[in-house]
């Protein structure tokens, strides 16, 4: 998880207090509204920054970036970048007879995984998978893994192992889903993304607080 805390800077607060004149009780309103506007901007900025690095949809990136809003009692907004590694299927995975290709970075060449395949599970989840070696030299020994008379043996090694065990058929090897990077990982490694976003967030929040004061003045709430 990557946390980004947003709060009002002292100089900007003093400027707002002068603008509010004798309406200082409106300060928490101005600050909380400004922080929430700035937090939304930070979320969008991070989404676009990560999207510029990896070849996945912005909607998939946004799912992992949450906003904890400020209030008049809590004058701080938080943006947290969370999420596990993203399924490789999201990175334009394509299957041919030899395996699966995908592309992580925008503008980068496609990477190929021999023997991988794309499948849809009974749950409806679709992903890119590879078969992994089982313990015991590739022979599935558990009773649930042995499917007599239903699946053909794929390799000479498995045939010999099955014959040695007195079996006619052996179940397929288990599968493992292929995963790409996580949103927090990409955000942390994107050159200057978090540092520049945090710097500009302070400037943007100060500007937004001035705008909020102008709105109150226009509404006649500040003389």
Q: How far apart are CA 34 and CA 170, in angstroms?
A: 64
Q: Which value, to the nearest 10 degrees, does the dihedral of the CA atoms of residues 207, 213, 214, 215 take?
A: 110
Query: What residue ranges do the domains of the chain occupy?
Result: 2-84+181-218, 88-180
Q: How far apart are CA 177 and CA 113, in angstroms?
A: 12
Q: What share of the chain is helix, strand, coil (3-state, %, to 5)?
A: 40, 20, 40
Q: How far apart are the first and last CA of the chain?
A: 45
pTM of the model: 0.74
Residue 100: the pLDDT is 94
Closest CA to 169 of 190, 154, 184, 179: 154
Q: Looking at residue 169, what DSSP letter applies?
A: -
Q: Which value, to the nearest 10 degrees, does the dihedral of the CA atoms of residues 117, 120, 121, 125 take?
A: 110
φ and ψ at residue 78, rounded to 5 degrees: -125, 135
Residue 141: the pLDDT is 40
Residue 164: the pLDDT is 65
Neighbours of 110 (CB within 10 A): 14
Asked if 110 and 99 count as a contact pair (C-beta separation under 8 A), the reply is no
Q: Would you call 89 exposed, middle or buried from its count of C-beta atoms within 10 A (0-12, 13-18, 19+)?
A: buried
Residue 131: the pLDDT is 86
Q: CB within 8 A of 17, min separation 6: which ones?
A: 24, 27
Residue 171: the pLDDT is 55
Residue 137: the pLDDT is 45
Please list the pLDDT of the chain residue by residue as tens digits (223 residues).
Answer: 899 999 999 999 999 999 998 899 999 999 999 999 999 999 999 999 999 999 889 998 999 999 999 999 999 999 999 988 999 999 989 999 899 999 998 878 999 999 999 999 889 999 999 988 755 444 444 333 333 344 444 555 665 665 566 555 445 678 899 999 999 999 999 999 999 999 999 999 999 999 999 999 999 888 7
Residue 160: the pLDDT is 61
């Amino acid at each position: 998880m990557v946390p980004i805390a947003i709060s009002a800077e002292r100089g900007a607060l003093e400027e707002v207090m002068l603008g509010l004149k004798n309406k200082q009780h409106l300060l928490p309103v101005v600050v909380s509204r400004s922080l929430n506007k700035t937090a939304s901007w930070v979320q969008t900025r991070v989404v676009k920054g990560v999207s510029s690095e990896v070849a996945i949809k912005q909607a998939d990136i946004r799912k992992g970036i949450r906003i904890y809003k400020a209030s008049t009692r809590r004058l701080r907004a938080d943006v947290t970048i969370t999420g596990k590694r993203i399924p490789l299927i999201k990175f334009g995975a394509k299957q041919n007879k030899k395996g699966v290709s995908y592309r992580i970075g925008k503008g980068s060449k496609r990477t190929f995984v021999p023997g991988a395949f794309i499948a849809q599970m009974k749950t409806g989840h679709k992903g890119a998978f590879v078969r992994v070696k089982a313990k015991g030299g590739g022979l599935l020994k558990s009773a649930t893994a042995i499917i007599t008379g239903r699946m053909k043996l794929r390799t000479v090694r498995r045939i010999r192992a099955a014959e040695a065990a007195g079996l006619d058929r052996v179940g397929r090897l288990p599968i493992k889903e292929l995963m790409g990077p996580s949103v927090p990982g990409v955000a942390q490694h994107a050159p200057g993304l978090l540092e520049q976003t945090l710097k500009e967030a302070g400037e943007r929040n100060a500007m937004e607080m001035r705008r909020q004061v102008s709105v109150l003045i226009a509404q006649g709430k500040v003389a």
